[in-house]
Amino acid sequence: MNIDLEMDETWKEEFLARVEKDGPWASWEMYELALEAAHHLSVPEFHGLQAPKHLPHLTILPHQLEVARRVVEEMNGKAILADEVGLGKTIEAGLVLKEYMIRGLVKKALILVPASLVSQWVRELNEKFFIPAVQQKKSYVWEQCDIVVSSIDTAKKPPHRDIIYGQSYDMIIIDEAHKLKNNKTKNYEFVQNLKKKFCLLLTATPIQNRIEEIFNLVSLLKPGHLGSSEQFAKTYGKTRAVQTNDHLKALVNKVMIRNRRADTPIEWAKRHVEPVLIEFTNEERELYEAVKALRRESFAGSFSLITLLREACSSREALFLTIKNMIDKCGGAVPEPLERVLEKINAVKTNSKAEKALELIRSINDKVIIFTEYRATQLYLQWFLKQHGISSVPFRGGFRRGKKDWMQELFKHHAQVFIATEAGGEGINLQFCRYVINYDLPWNPMRLEQRIGRVHRLGQTDDVYIYNFAVKQTVEEHILTLLYEKIRLFERVVGELDDILAKMNLANLERYFEDAFVHSRSEGEMKIKMENIVAMIELAEQLGKEGGERHAAT
C-alpha cells in the first residue's frame, strides 16, 4: 500500500501524562457519550450526501439535491452552476459547501460575490446552513476566519490581494461569474491565481452566446478541459454557439449544470397580466405636449428628450426635478421653452395615474407592490396614498441591508403598499405579496423580469396579478403595446427572455427605442422601427428554439 498515513499524536501524549499523574479520568458515561458523538459525526460512505440530514428545516428541491450530488460525485467539486434565475443556485452552492465541511474536506473557503449581495450571502449561509461565514471588514479576517464572504473588487486590491494569495483555500465560490468571461481583465487574473481545491462558479446568464467566453470560464475552473486556447480556436473557432457542436456541448456539460424551469416538475403559480390604460387630463396632456415640443429647441441635444417624456408620464414631480436641473445648468436666465414647461407643470393639479392606482389598491384590498422608476414619484405616491389613509413603505436599492430587512418587515406586518424604485428589485423576497403595479415601465425588459421575479418565484403559492400602467397616446403606450405585448413579455417565465436577449447581444436595446421614439419623423416610421425590434427578438427566439429542439433530440 502506497498511501500516506498519519497517526494523530496528541491523544497519546496527553494520555501518558495522565497515567503518570494518575488522572483525572472521565466517567464511563462521558466516555460513552464521546464515542457516540464520534459515531454521529463520522461519514460512513464516500458516496451520497450528508448535508440534508444536517438541514432538516430547509426545504431542498429535488433538482437542487441532484446538482449537489453531481458536483460532489461526478464533477469532483469543480462546477459551473448555471440554473435559470429563481431555481436556487445559492441553495445548491450552500449544499455543496456544507457537504464538504461535514466531511472535513473544506475548512477554509472564500466566497466572492457582488458587493450588494455580501451581507445576504453571509446571512443565508449562517441561517440556512449553519455555516459560520463572516463578512470581510478588517484585513485580519482573511487569515483568522475560515469562511469569508467578500466582493471581488475589495479582494483583488492591495493589501488584501497579497494576504489572500498567501492563503490556501479548500473552496472558492464565485457568484455572478459571467463577469469573468474576459481573460484579459484584472478580475480574471486574480481568480486564476487563487489557490483552490474545489471551486463553484455561479452564473444565471447562459454563456452559450460567445464561445470564447465559455472557454475562458471553463479554463478558470479546470484549465485544459477545453484544450489550450490555440487548439480551441482551431477546433471550434468556426462554431458560433456551443449548442451547435455536440462534442463541445458534451465537454461543457461535464463541468456545467444548467436546470431550466421547464425541466423541473415544480408547479409555478399562475400569472395574470392586465394592461391598464390611463387617460391624461387636459392639463396633463398640455404638459406632455409642451415637453414634446422641446425636440425642436436648439439645446435639445444636451438632454434626453425620451427621459423627459417618460417622466411626464410618471409624475410632474419627477419631471420638475429634471427640468430644474436643466435650468440650473443654464445659469441665470431661464430659457423660454423651459419656462413654458414650468408653467404647464404648475397648471397640473391632479395625477391621473395616481388616482387610478388608488382606485385599484382600494379594490384589491390586499398587499400591493408598486414599482416606479423615479424617486420623486415614489415620494409623491407615498404622500398621496397617505392623504387617502393608505399606509406605504418606500424602498430603494441603496438601502443598507439592515434597512432593507426592516422595510420588508414593515411591509409584511404594518403596511398595505410597498413602493420600490428600480434598484429595489435585488435581494429581497416579497412572496407574501401577489399584486404588482408597474406604475411606469422600465425600458429594459430584463429589469421588468427582475421586478416580476420578486413575487413570482419559488415558494409563491397563489396566483400573481400584474398591472401595467400606461398613459394613452404617449411613449408608454407605445412601449407597452408595440413591444412588450408583441413579444408576450409578461407571459414568459423568468429567465427565458434572458436567453433570448443574450443571443441577440442587444445590450443597447434602449438606444433602439430612443431612436424609434425621438428621431422618427412620423408615427408610421416609429411603428415600423418598433416592429423591426419585435422581429429581431422573434428571430432570436426562433433560433433559440431550434437549438433547444436539437438538444432534446440528442
Partner 1 sequence: MQQHEIRRFVERYFAANGCTFVEANDDYLTVQLTAEMDKELMNRPFYWHYIERTGGVPQPMRLTLITRASERTDKLKGERLHFGAPRLHQLFRSAQKRGSFIRLYEEPSAPLDGNAALHPWLGMNVTISYECDRKKDEIVSLGLHLISGTIVESFHERMRERRLTPKIPDYCFTISPLIKPRSGIGRLEQYIRSRIAADDHAWADEARRRWADDLALLDEFYKDCEEKPECYYIEKEALEKQYKPRITVSVINGGLFYLLPRSS
Say if residues 318 and 376 touch (Cβ distance below 8 Å).
Answer: yes
Q: Least CB distance from residue 297 to partner 1, whole Å?
A: 57
Closest to 94 (Cα-Cα) out of 134, 121, 57, 61: 121
Judged by CB under 8 A, which of 69, 161, 225, 492 binds partner 1? 225
In whole angstroms, the minimum distance from the beta carbon of 189 to partner 1 comes to 8
How many residues are recorded in the chain?
A: 554
Q: Which is nearer to partner 1, 194 or 369 (CB)?
A: 194
63: left (phi over 0), alpha (psi -120 to 50) or beta: alpha
Q: Is 224 in the site for partner 1 (CB under 8 A)?
A: yes
Of 150, 203, 219, 352, the one binding partner 1 (CB under 8 A) is 219
Cα dist. 442→86, 413, 468 in Å?
20, 29, 11
Q: Name the grid cell of 10.
A: 496528541
Q: Per CB under 8 A, which of residues 4..63 are in contact with partner 1?
A: 4-8, 11-12, 14-16, 18-19, 23-47, 53-57
Contact track, partner 1, 59-88, x by CB under 8 A: -------------x---xx-----------
Distance CA 423, CA 442 (A): 11
How is 486-532 classified by DSSP, letter by letter? TTTGGGSPTTHHHHHHHHHT-TTHHHHHHHHHHS-SSHHHHHHHHHH
Binding partner 1 (rule: CB under 8 A), the pick from 144, 228, 391, 505 is 228
Give the x/- contact pattern for partner 1 in 315-354, rule: CB under 8 A: ----------------------------------------
Task: Please count the other Cβ atoms lying within 10 Å of the Cβ belonging to residue 335.
Answer: 15
Q: What is the DSSP string of 11-50?
A: HHHHHHHHHHHT-----HHHHHHHHHHHHHH----SSS--
Size of the site for partner 1 (CB under 8 A): 69
- Supply the minimum distance, in Å, between the C-beta of residue 225 and partner 1: 6
Residue with Cβ nearer partner 1 (44 or 402)? 44
Q: Do the Cβ atoms of 294 and 308 come closer than 8 Å?
A: yes
459 binds partner 1 (CB under 8 A): no
Asked if 223 touches partner 1 (CB under 8 A), the answer is yes
HEC secondary structure over 134-166? EECCCCHHHHHCCEEEECHHHHCCCCHHHHHHC
Q: Which is nearer to partner 1, 226 or 291 (CB)?
A: 226
Find the part of the chain contacting partner 1 (CB under 8 A) among 178-186, 192-200, 366-374, 447-455: 192-200
Per rule CB under 8 A, is residue 198 in the interface with partner 1?
Answer: yes
* Cβ proximity of 37 and 62 under 8 Å: no
CA distance 521 to 526: 8
Handedness of CA 377, 378, 383, 388 (dihedral sign): positive
Q: Which of 61, 65, 105, 269 binds partner 1 (CB under 8 A)?
A: 105
The region of 3-11, 155-163, 302-310, 472-480 touching partner 1 under the rule CB under 8 A is: 3-11
Which of the ranges 85-93, 195-203, 469-477, 486-494 carries the binding residues for partner 1, by CB under 8 A? 195-203
Residues that bind partner 1 (CB under 8 A): 1, 3-8, 11-12, 14-16, 18-19, 23-47, 53-57, 72, 76-77, 103-105, 130, 168, 170, 192-198, 219, 222-225, 227-228, 230-231
